[in-house]
Copies of this chain bind each other. A is one copy, B any other.
Amino acid sequence: MDRRQRQEPACKTETQWAVAVGRGGGGRRPGQPLAAGTCPSPTALLAGRQERFLLGNLQAHNQPASSRQVPQAGAQPGARKPRPTPAGMCSVPVPQAPLRRVAVTGGTHGNELSGVYLARHWLRDPRELRRPSFSATPVLANPAAAAACRRYVDRDLNRTFTDTLLVSRATPNDPHELTRARELDQLLGPKASGSDRAFDFVLDLHNTTANMGTCLLVDGAHNTFALHLSRHLQLQFPEVPCQVLLTRPPQSARESFSLDSVAKNGMTVELGPQPQGVLRADIFSRMRALVASALDFMELFNQGAAFPAFEMEVYRNLGGEDFPRTQDGDLAGMVHPQLQVREQLACHQDRDYEPLQPGAPIFQKFSGEDVLYEGDSTVYPVFINEAAYYEKHVAFLRTEKLMISVPPLPPLSPTPTQVL
């Protein structure tokens, strides 16, 4: 699998690929399978690590032949570009070999402390990251920013992994994060060359100040492996919102820029709400458990498990909405309390993922005037009031809610047996 060059203009990826069977939610629960499948139950998965792998392995091999999946067209190992399916749709090729080189990165933003301290902990004691068929590599992505407890030193590291920047000639005056991006590209990629030595998967850990619970950022509906991983995490963590956000806007031809884009595949995890510069034990523990479950999923896959098709509710990024501003560019208002604050049983809970209708108030100006949403259809705002997005002129992201059909994830064959 490799989605590092998936942005080529000829490939209209998820807008064609994703079969939207419903908008605005429906009767099917996110992650609910379309048919009885071979994926181990959450209960089985939570019952001890060794047993879990064996169970996954056994289940994979005990499945009826009809549920075994034929590898998709264009899914050869080493293929570096999304390939059109026979129906003209694109997808990231699913892995044809076990995932051996997996990285878990924290501190890509130095003031998002769950990932910073998990990375530091794992660098001292990486035992939690070991699985029978692989050991994930912990990486503190931006140590200088973490030491200063700032998002970044010179520029946003997680916007710096474009081909253009990574292959540019280094100079002594380069911003700190450009130098660091090149280092990480050498460690986890390289992205530009499409080399086989790139990591198989990068899981990048973030926090948000928005009330987004657990949000799994997947580049698009074409990324079958990441969506199966997301569904696995949703089933493991049913007690808090665990949503999938497809980050690439429709028809976007933008170059990928995030840290996980240097590897063959990857995903970003956002947990919130947590202020910048704060470490909350509840969110730290949830992130730690999410990473463990993600590695368990990769182990199941490596051991030969197959995962059936399913439908999934996702939110797809439609772009950012800026704050009202003064003529000199400063804020003229703030997110409207009706958009942000839901009063519920004497406690406040913010309104990420909730429908926003045209004409509803979205900002409150300091003068007292309301600013209404002028879109022509219902959207579902996320990243409402994310601290780091003020400078990016984004008060929230508009998304649409879709049901997508995710194809099966076929089992590896033959089953790998490497035990570390």
Near B by CB (< 8 A), chain A positions 357-374 give 364, 366
Whether the pair A149, B390 counts as a contact (CB closer than 8 A) is yes
- Identify the interface centre among A275, A330, A347, A390: most chain B CB within 10 Å of its CB: A275
Whether the pair B366, A282 counts as a contact (CB closer than 8 A) is no
Segment at the B interface, from A154-162, A226-234, A332-340:
A332-340
Q: Complex formed: what's the CA distance from A336 to B281 in Å? A: 6
Cβ-defined partner of A277 (8 Å) among B276, B279, B337 = B276
Cβ-defined partner of A330 (8 Å) among B120, B209, B285 = B120
B-side contacts of A58, CB under 8 Å: none
B-side contacts of A44, CB under 8 Å: none
Q: Complex formed: what's the CA distance from A344 to B209 in Å? A: 21
CB-nearest residue of chain B to A347: B347
B-side contacts of A330, CB under 8 Å: 120
Whether the pair B385, A280 counts as a contact (CB closer than 8 A) is yes
Near B by CB (< 8 A), chain A positions 228-277 give 273-277
Q: Complex formed: what's the CA distance from A19 to B245 in Å? A: 57
Q: Complex formed: what's the CA distance from A280 to B117 in Å? A: 27
Provide the A391-403 mask, 1 if CB < 8 A to any CB of B, else 0: 1000000000000
Q: Complex formed: what's the CA distance from A143 to B209 in Å? A: 24
Q: Complex formed: what's the CA distance from A390 to B117 in Å? A: 14
B-side contacts of A364, CB under 8 Å: 281
- Identify the interface centre among A277, A279, A330, A348: most chain B CB within 10 Å of its CB: A277
Whether the pair A281, B331 counts as a contact (CB closer than 8 A) is no
Near B by CB (< 8 A), chain A positions 282-331 give 282, 284-285, 330-331
B-side contacts of A347, CB under 8 Å: 344-345, 347-349
B-side contacts of A344, CB under 8 Å: 347
Whether the pair B337, A282 counts as a contact (CB closer than 8 A) is yes
A268 to chain B: closest CB distance in Å?
20
A388 at the interface (CB under 8 A from B): yes
A278 at the interface (CB under 8 A from B): yes
27 A-B residue pairs with Cβ-Cβ distance under 8 Å, sorted by A, are A117-B331, A117-B366, A121-B366, A149-B390, A149-B391, A209-B275, A209-B278, A275-B275, A275-B278, A277-B387, A277-B388, A278-B387, A279-B331, A279-B335, A280-B340, A281-B335, A281-B336, A281-B340, A281-B364, A282-B337, A282-B341, A282-B348, A284-B334, A344-B347, A345-B346, A347-B348, A347-B349
Supplied contacts A281-B337, A282-B348, A345-B347, 12 more A-B pairs, CB within 8 Å = A209-B275, A274-B275, A277-B388, A277-B390, A278-B387, A278-B390, A279-B385, A280-B341, A281-B341, A281-B364, A282-B340, A282-B341
